[in-house]
A = this chain, B = another copy of it.
Amino acid sequence: MKNALAYADAHRSNFVDELKTLLRIPSVSTDPAFAGEVQRTADYLADHMKALGMQRAEAIDTGGHPIVLAEHFVDPALPTVLVYGHYDVQPPDPLDLWHSPPFEPVERDGLLYARGACDDKGQLFMHIKAFEAFMKTTGQPPVNLKFILEGEEECGSKHLAGFISDHADELRADIVVISDTALFAPGVPSITYGLRGLAYVEVSLTGPNRDLHSGTYGGAIDNPINALARLIAGLHDQDHRITIDGFYDDVIPLTSDERATMRALPFNDEEWAADVGVSHTRTEAGFSALEGSCARPTLDCNGIWGGYTGEGAKTVLPSKAHAKISMRLVPDQTPEDITNKIRAYFEANTPCTMKLDFKPMHGGHGVLVDTHSPAMEAAAEALVGTYGKRPFFTRIGGSIPVVADFKRILGLDSVLMGFGLDSDAIHSPNEHFGIDRFHEGIASIIRFMTLYGS
């Protein structure tokens, strides 16, 4: 390990230069015009890993953008680590807000600016450089190593789950490691052990069969907007708890340890609220804002529309009203069950004056990983080695569907060890990655592999 760390330290500028080469290829996956560049990125990564001595590395056609699969087998007695990352990037628009061109990486004040610098080329490249550090010193990594690098993460991961199923044998491993998340704060290492799932539905109410004159009919024909508002309002009680029958049945309660950890995190409610321009948070009674935003299930209207929405006044009693509603889920809620339960709510409470159209849109499972597993312990120790302090185990409010896919299809837990920061402007102009954090990531991964392998 010492040699590998020394090698990594000695090659800091080479590693950054190589990352710049990777960042120069505009692998924008949503835009078909860039399909060739996405392919070129996949080929570059496969070639680069082979050049470093990886036993197998190839860009495999998926019908969409290729998936890079790589493998380096050392010893059947060693555990196998499967690294997931994605080499595609968000479109760089709006271009005029970038201070330097998005695909011409530049260093400024210790930060490397480029589209993909953090999300996720910079972070996946740390794993390749850790592999290199072992190959150039001890001659082989301390674990069996596999890579699955996706090119469609930013456009819906259409082919990923199918690919994992189809290549289940080749992907067999003991743990998945993913670096696609952020530190809790600068210098505050964290490992994400919880992700929320999602159930997303669209609801439409039809009252009268056409838009009516509100003078002629108002007061006797029920209004679908008013009715939909009543239904949406009824989804929360005064304590901001969700009223859907059985909604909380399968929620694994936060443990007192988890709550203590959250209280210890450097998180300031008021600053967090002020940053998005609100004076107060609003959370389910009995839970902090951090708990509410990360570790409790939610229900949000994502969109609503109906009737006249143009300029001025039109006295219409509309025929229809619509809402998009999504719920963030936590284990062991399932999107199927929650979708059925909210459907039951709407079916039971839609007034007899309205016709209901209920459309499930999509869903995903939440994830909770055992923080006491050998892999998690190794990851925590590795971060202690790099940062001099034990990481916080954190839950995040969003979803990373691939984590649930690995669990569902391969039975594998994931270690989410990310080195980004919320301020890295991923998906925005002037995306960047701290060069120190890039090197901290490589050192942490070297330590993790060593600790997990022993």
Contacts and interface: CB of A to CB of B under 8 A. Distances in A.
Given A221-B282, A232-B225, A233-B229, A214 B304 contact: no
B351 A216 contact: no
A218 B289 CA distance: 10
A77 interface: no
Contacts of A52: none
B225 A323 contact: yes
B300 A317 contact: yes
A208 interface: yes
A306 interface: yes
Interface in A219-263: 219-223, 225-226, 228-230, 232-236
Interface string A182-219: 00000000000000101010100001111011111111
B276 A225 contact: no
Contacts of A353: 278-282
Contacts of A212: 276
Interface in A299-350: 299-310, 312-318, 321-324, 326, 328
A284 interface: yes
Contact of A277 (B196, B202, B209, B228): B209
A48 B314 CA distance: 36
A285 interface: no
Contact of A307 (B200, B293, B301, B351): B301
Contacts of A328: 214-215, 218-219
Contact of A324 (B217, B277, B313, B326): B313
8 contacts: A200-B313, A214-B300, A214-B326, A216-B396, A217-B397, A218-B328, A229-B301, A307-B324
